[in-house]
Amino acid sequence: MKIIRAKDYKDMSRKAANIISAQVIMKPNCVLGLATGGTPVGTYQQLIDWYNKGDVDFSEVTTVNLDEYRGLPRENPQSYWSFMHDNFFDHVNIDPARINLPDGTNLDAAAECKRYDEVIHNVGGIDLQLLGIGHDGHIGFNEPGAAFELGTHCVDLTQETIEANKRFFDGNVDLVPKQAYTMGIKTIMQARKVLLVANGAGKAEIIKKAFFGPVTPEVPASILQMHPDFTLVGDAEALSLI
Ligand code: PGA
């Protein structure tokens, strides 16, 4: 495990974007595993900035996103498909045919999860997986207690995650989908590199617990301690307890 200390959110975003752009420069046709959430937005902005300056080219890159709400159509502004297009894909030269997310509108969970695992397999696996971390230690939608050996699967969101995500649904808990398709811990662990970004004092406790505590399904991110090429980039506040 490698820990990179950043001063603040901007610095964290820049350092994370540096690692991603290095990956794309070294292997232009790489497979990037991408994440939604507030934390990576600055990373995407930095990558867009470097793309606009001609410093990084996404034309051959394939992407696979971590997760998607079950039941939300792509066009819904709160779908992760929309999030990724608004925050990243629409602003760079990524080939739409190489963008992959779970299909929230396929309500046949077994079929959709199998399809998504095949997509990841068929693109040759993930070269670099970007992650955020939830306050309960979740990665993707792998909530506490999730088995480490799962591929893509359908999950019931915890009340804590529903509460944390209601800010994106007019603050209305009833509008937050209650299930999601997510890559499993096994899928994430099979990525050749993993990069986790965290900022703010609110993440300090969980960062300490996940990366300096026992490896346990009760803290899903803790398994990353076992990954052979895992980098944590955090700002001073998020890393304040380690
Ligand atoms: P956040 O979400 O980046 O909005 O804090 C992290 C997560 O839940 O994975």
Residue 227 is a catalytic residue: no
d(CA 131, CA 36) in angstroms, rounded, equals: 8
Measured from the CB, is residue 38 less than 6 Å from ligand 1? yes
In angstroms, what is the span from residue 40 Cα to ligand 1's centroid? 8
Residue 182's SS3 state is strand
Site to probe by mutation for ligand 1, drawn from 34, 36, 39 as the one with most ligand atoms within 8 Å of Cβ, is 39
In angstroms, what is the span from residue 203 Cα to ligand 1's centroid? 10
Render pLDDT for 104-153 as a digit per residue (tens, 0 to 9): 999 999 999 999 999 999 999 999 999 999 999 999 999 999 889 999 99
- Return mean pLDDT, the chain: 96
Q: Could you tell me what percent of the chain has a pLDDT over 70? A: 100
Angle at 148 between CA 150 and CA 241, to 5 degrees: 140
Q: Is the pLDDT of residue 158 over 90?
A: no
Measured from the CB, is residue 37 less than 6 Å from ligand 1? yes
Q: Could you tell me how many residues make up the chain?
A: 242
pLDDT for 168 equals 85
CB burial of 154-176 (b: ≥16 within 10 Å; e: otherwise) equals bbebbeebbebbeeeeeeeeeeb
Q: Is the pLDDT of residue 164 over 90?
A: no
Residue 136 is a catalytic residue: yes
Render pLDDT for 50-105 as a digit per residue (tens, 0 to 9): 999 999 999 999 999 999 999 999 999 999 999 999 999 999 999 999 999 999 99
Mean pLDDT of 169-190: 94
Residues near 161 by Cβ (< 8 Å), separated by ≥ 6?
134, 136, 138, 141, 143
pLDDT for 146 equals 85
Residue 173 dihedral angles phi and psi, to the nearest 5°:
-55, -35
pLDDT for 111 equals 98
Q: Which of 112, 143, 235, 237 is catalytic?
A: 143
Which of 4-18, 40-54, 55-69, 156-170 is the least confident region?
156-170
Measured from the CB, is residue 152 less than 6 Å from ligand 1? no
